[in-house]
Amino acid sequence: MRIAVAGKGGAGKTTISATLARTLARNGKQVLAIDGDPNPNLGMALGVDADLLRDPPRVPRNAADEVKDEQGRTQRVLKSEFADFRQQYAVQAPDGVMLVHMTRVDHAGTG
């Protein structure tokens, strides 16, 4: 199962995502929560220890290759096995949720 949460700023995406992730995990589902926000707060909403969130592992841009499928659509495919990816980049959150941070702002206010 894959669930994506999207909407405008301030709509409650982070709160809904954290609640959904923890509820699914408590009900026995394996959950990998992905925070793709340049200003990531999903870890805090999940209840991850603040020390783990100071400098969490981030997925580098080169962690996946771009490939085209038979219809010519571009997709990104992980270079490593998913279990290795999760081991390398995920942080343990409460209730068995694993959290991955995808982005960050490296040079705010430039260019």
> What is the pLDDT at residue 108?
53
pLDDT, greater one: 99 or 63? 99
| pTM of the shown model | 0.78
* Locus of tokens 């040079």: 107
> What is the pLDDT at residue 109?
57
CB within 8 A of 98, min separation 6: which ones? 31, 32, 33, 86, 90, 91, 92
Q: Are 42 and 12 in contact, with CB atoms under 8 Å apart?
A: no
**Structural tokens at position 83:** 């279990």
